[in-house]
Amino acid sequence: MRSLAAAARRWGAPLVLLAALVGLWEAAVHLLALPHYILPAPSRIARTLVTDLPLLAPHARVTAVEVVVGFAVALVAGLALGFLMFRSAVLGRALEPILVASQTIPVFAVAPLLVLWLGYGLASKVAMAALIVFFPMTVATLDGLRSADPDLVDWFRMAGARPAMVLLAVQVPAALPQVFTGMRIGATVSVIGAVIGEWVGADAGLGYLMARANAQLRVDLVFAALVVLSVFGVALVAAVRALEWALTPWRRARAAS
Amino acid sequence: MAHAPALAVRGLAKRFGSLPVLAGVDLDVPAGSIVALLGPSGCGKTTLFHLLAGLYAPDAGTIALDGTAAGAALRGLAAYQPQKDLLLPWRTALANAAVGARLAGRSRREAERLAAEALARVGLASFERAYPAALSGGMRQRVALARALLMERGLLLLDEPFAAVDALTRLDLHALLLDLWAERRPTTLVVTHDPEEAALLADRIAVLSARPARVVAELEVDLPRPRRVGDPMLARLEGRLVALVRQARDACATEARRA
């Protein structure tokens, strides 16, 4: 019962707010008599989600694969590069400004190039999603590893611990909270990356479907695709949170005692 | 258990940039005894401990164990207990204590068994599964003591280990520390700014000046253990210590005015 009450406290307010906003939207569409090809009512979008499910599902599957593979590639690459930059001061100094500078290039500008180089298929979208997730992941890993308490690191060194033990016992656990923050940010932007890739050039996926539906004034289908996309994002963030919960039990210690 | 070496420090000096921290410290800790370093806070004692534990090298002077000069070889020889308990927040009390046994080269399984015994020894048997965040300051210091014990070192360095706990807990921890020390008699150096702590624990007390630190007075303590707070002999010793520390501080202030 306590956990039910806690869940209600946590999710009650956002759910009520969301319901109110959707209700307001529904009312506004009817009161202002807005045509559905400008702004469809939520009820119409819900109907579209059901009736056009056979159309949405295969495109959703394509996008889901792009998002998950892109996220996974960026996760592995970001963890690896962040770690290497941490271990090698020279590499860290050399790469940090370049990495930051690379973030001033808008991803939209790169998308046509990626399609040109990697084609209309999965590869260009995975690259797109990975590119956008890679930077926050690398920075989070590097900053996280650097955040270990220097006194704690010194204690292990004085105690005669080998560097591998200092890394595994002190630096890696100290990095986890920031790594998970990086992963949560990455999980949301990976969806954006995949959809941008699909807009620029694709023959399948929710981004492709949205572009086509938009041209045909099927705005309800555009919104239906958006709903599916946000479900992807939320599901990925929830998965990251679940992993974080399982791997950092000590962060709940104070609450438990 | 490594054997307890005699520690001899000669002319130890260290500066950080233009800041002289240690100005020629001479100090002897006979094998298996407890020496207290009594000095004002911020007098460079943590630097002294970092040098003794081999974290970095001195600018001048030597550190010898059993008469043999030890350089970077000091690393891994001492069990060092700082004022901050420096437990791993992500490990339970049991796993934190086990770190000491792992550092002594024990297997994972053995380390866990020894850690359970050591936690029971320091009175924390029922807190094996607790994370440091769920423990009080005194309990965390007990876990850190258990960890230091399991490192099986002949040299024990305590850097104001009980400065952050309340007075009553501190007395309990003193008694516990002396019990543990009596079992294996590691060569022990304890830094404190509390004359009572020095008088309760030590066989010999060295008084440090303010920064840059050097030893300005030394006295033997020939009171039998266990010593009790309120004992008139102990009170007289404390009185002398307070006078010595005050003298060291004022001499330093005079020097600073002259400079």
What is the 3-class SS of chain B, one letter each residue? CCCCCCEEEEEEEEEECCEEEEEEEEEEECCCCEEEEECCCCCCHHHHHHHHCCCCCCCEEEEEECCEECCHHHCCCEEEECCCCCCCCCCCHHHHHHHHHHHCCCCHHHHHHHHHHHHHHCCCHHHCCCCHHHCCHHHHHHHHHHHHHHCCCCEEEEECCCCCCCHHHHHHHHHHHHHHHHHHCCEEEEEECCHHHHHHHCCEEEEECCCCECEEEEEECCCCCCCCCCCHHHHHHHHHHHHHHHHHHHHHHHHHHHC
- Mean pLDDT of the A52-68 span: 95
* Lowest mean per-residue pLDDT among A144-158, B94-108, B233-247: B233-247
Is residue A257 within 8 angstroms of chain B, CB to CB?
yes
pLDDT of A257 > 60? The answer is no
- Mean pLDDT of the A50-78 span: 95
| Interface test with chain B among A153, A158, A251, by most B beta carbons within 10 Å | A158
Q: Coil, strand or helix: which one is A204?
A: coil
For chain A, percent of residues with pLDDT exceeding 70: 98
In the prediction, which pLDDT does A216 show?
93
- Mean pLDDT of the A218-225 span: 95
In the prediction, which pLDDT does A256 show?
47
pLDDT of B71 > 70? The answer is no
pLDDT of B45 > 90? The answer is no
Contacts of A250 in chain B (CB under 8 A): 89-91, 131, 133
Residue closest to A240 by CA, chosen among A97, A140, A94, A110: A140
Categorize the per-residue pLDDT at B183 as very low, low, confident or very high, splitting at 50, 70 and 90: confident
CA atoms lying within 13 Å on the CB side of residue B127: 26
> Under 8 Å CB-to-CB from B64, ≥6 apart: which residues?
B7, B8, B9, B10, B70
- Mean pLDDT of the A150-163 span: 92
Residue closest to B54 by CA, chosen among B66, B41, B43, B65: B65
pTM of the model: 0.84
* pLDDT, tens digit (0-9, with 9 covering 90-100), for A101-145: 888 888 788 889 998 999 888 999 999 999 999 999 999 999 999
pLDDT of A167 > 80? The answer is yes
Q: Is residue B123 within 8 Å of residue B180, measured between CB atoms?
A: no
Average pLDDT score over chain B: 87
- Looking at CA atoms only, how far is residue B4 from chain A in angstroms? 16
pLDDT of A87 > 90? The answer is yes
In the prediction, which pLDDT does A24 show?
96
Nearest CA in chain A to B46: A151
In the prediction, which pLDDT does B80 show?
87
DSSP assigned state of A201: S
Nearest CA in chain A to B152: A159
> Under 8 Å CB-to-CB from B161, ≥6 apart: which residues?
B81, B82, B83, B141, B144, B145, B173, B177, B190
- Mean pLDDT of the A31-60 span: 94
The ipTM (two decimal places) reads: 0.87
Is the Cα torsion angle B55, B61, B65, B68 positive or negative in sign?
A: positive
pLDDT of B42 > 80? The answer is no
Q: Which contacts (CB < 8 Å, 24+ apart) does range B105-110 have? A: B106/B150
Is residue A33 within 8 angstroms of chain B, CB to CB?
no
Nearest CA in chain A to B98: A169
In the prediction, which pLDDT does B151 show?
92
A158, A173, A248 ranked by CB distance to B54: nearest: A158
- Looking at CA atoms only, how far is residue A177 from chain B in angstroms? 11
Average pLDDT score over chain A: 91
pLDDT of B73 > 70? The answer is no
- Mean pLDDT of the A45-58 span: 95
Is the Cα torsion angle A40, A43, A48, A51 positive or negative in sign?
A: negative
